[in-house]
Structure 1
């Protein structure tokens, strides 16, 4: 079982995007897009312009950015490839703009509808990925599908999605929404934490893989949101789980000590098709970063790649239930 993962794609800056061919040719069963799948605010119009837009103007701009990415032929080939399922979560640049916090935005009438419109766009993006046909994305920003969340009597955020990876139930992928409820000390919110806790408790000895737009301890990370940071460490307990993360325009493998025996091994793959530096100076070399996780019966092989060449690799043993043996 192979799972590829990456994040940060800006069609406005990098149009060719050969990383998708590299991933497709490796033939993973799953591909996880870890956020910033489009850059709503880069290279233009900038955060202040987006914030001044009404919901319809925001939808028109968002549609243009999604259409730009969905038109990429290499991305289309990956989505359509037999035997590969592409999943997506979001981070700030595809949620709204840099460092956007949905919990704050929802309390502001001028921005609340932007959160709802953006959510409908993400639902449609996920739908065409699941259907393996990006041509089925709605043909205009005015399509009713993009206004379902704004029209609903009660707004329902994306929440968490749990996917069984191996047929024997030894590994589970959890797609998180780290933007919609972000506010104060909260990253995921009570409802999403409850969803994930239930999944963890049903399979306590399995390997749980957390897909996160942000990292665990770098930049705008889990460590800044103490409620969820503490909850996840307590959930891991004495086991060793994985986090797949993006955001930081780099690759990295970190092992976090969350208890005396518990570990969170974090694999960061950020910079699928973007440049190394963004605002205020949008310059720097083009990045082509992705990761590959191979789950085998007795171990897990971890690879981080740049320009399809290995940068960091590790092999960690697995216990009978599926979770990993903590590295020293």
Structure 2
């Protein structure tokens, strides 16, 4: 079934050739020939990731509208990241019809592929990607999305997944990478919060603060990750690592809103905490996106050490635009948030000091200035 899904998407996919990263820097992704023999342009490759090299500087980001200003990518390139984590809503290509060829999503990817600032980042740094709803193809979409198989095939093709990548052999786009030498190992875990997710519970008061669109649903039958991904995550968390970055496209710790977040499935969120604890997974930090704003969060009561989360969103579609247009001044109240929210365009930077065993996590404005930050001693994450 996987090979069929890949064939459907790849045979119709046409990307701009100018968007391809330099061949010597690109990941090995095999043939770019469609099954019917037609030649298609190469997917969006990125610089080769050296799994043996210890990381000290990582950029994380989400939510980029392909038709909006792309200049923030040049600022990201200036950060000289050793790795970029692109955490979802990488394009906005919601599919408006039942057309299995996904014309809207393909057009969105093609537009992104034409971005020269984005191409410069890909040429300079390895990039790991996961999706959220708008590059999945359905706003707030979950496991009931009818075109999810076609969307996954397109995702795998567009982001140049190698032919032997385990993600090609299973449903969903979740993945894990262990990077660096012993004593400086960074484990990247990217969750798929879309492909398997149960339907959400609609709010009883649309737009009301704290329950804007969805309500918490205690139904024990509801799932966020699906059985197979839960089992995989438990195994991944048991692997030794000196720093773990758990990427969830939607927020984990946030309590202050009724948009998509793990709080909508409280039993599943508790399962996440329990899975971390049972695995003895120390040195873990959560990264998330989706919100079109940025913030830092911490809760010291859910696992065996303070759980920290950094949310970075959006690269070029920030909430500040909508707030200015509507005159909105309210800021959601959240007991887990550290300090203010940041509503302008932003990205995140992780700086690892292996000598001092410390991690600095910061949210950066479009000009590169740090607007939110926290330094975490690794000794406190166990």
**TM-score of the alignment, normalized to the shorter chain, above 0.5:** yes
Aligned with residue 160 of structure 2, among 119, 124, 127: 127
Which stretch shifts more, 27-36 or 119-128? 119-128
- SS of 2:193 mapped into structure 1: coil
What do you get for the CA RMSD once the two structures are aligned? 3.0
Q: Deviations for 1:159-205, whole angstroms, at most 9, x for unmatched residues?
A: 431111332253211011110001052111111111111111122x6
Any conservation in 1 of the 2:274–2:303 contact (CA below 8 Å)? no
Any conservation in 2 of the 1:35–1:246 contact (CA below 8 Å)? yes
Q: 1:117 and 2:150 equivalent?
A: yes
Give ranges in structure 1 of 5+ residues lacking alignment: 42-49, 106-110, 132-148
Query: CA–CA distance in 1 between the matches of 2:64 and 2:326?
Result: 15
Distance 1:60 1:283, change over 3 A: farther
Give ranges in structure 2 of 5+ residues lacking alignment: 1-55, 200-221, 328-342
Q: Which has the higher helix share?
A: 1
Distance 1:216 1:26, change over 3 A: same
Q: Deviations for 1:231-272, whole angstroms, at most 9, x for unmatched residues?
A: 221133274521110000111110123436432210110011
Aligned with residue 294 of structure 2, among 251, 259, 278: 251
Query: CA–CA distance in 2 between the matches of 1:156 and 1:73?
Result: 33
Match of 1:157 in 2: 171
Distance 1:181 1:53, change over 3 A: same
- SS of 1:164 mapped into structure 2: strand
Match of 2:249 in 1: 213
Query: CA–CA distance in 2 between the matches of 1:177 and 1:31?
Result: 18
Distance 1:256 1:230, change over 3 A: same
Query: CA–CA distance in 2 between the matches of 1:72 and 1:283?
Result: 30
Query: CA–CA distance in 2 between the matches of 1:88 and 1:159?
Result: 9
Query: CA–CA distance in 1 between the matches of 2:225 and 2:301?
Result: 19
Aligned with residue 33 of structure 1, among 55, 76, 86: 86
Q: 1:88 and 2:133 equivalent?
A: no
Structure of greater Rg: 2
- SS of 2:120 mapped into structure 1: helix
| Runs of 4+ with >6 A deviation | 281-284
Distance 1:157 1:260, change over 3 A: closer
TM-score by length of 2: 0.66
TM-score by length of 1: 0.76
- SS of 2:371 mapped into structure 1: strand
Distance 1:300 1:212, change over 3 A: same
Query: CA–CA distance in 1 between the matches of 2:250 and 2:98?
Result: 26
Match of 2:194 in 1: 179
Q: 1:294 and 2:351 equivalent?
A: yes
Q: 1:74 and 2:117 equivalent?
A: yes
Match of 1:192 in 2: 229
| Larger RCO (CA within 8 A; separation ≥ 6) | 1
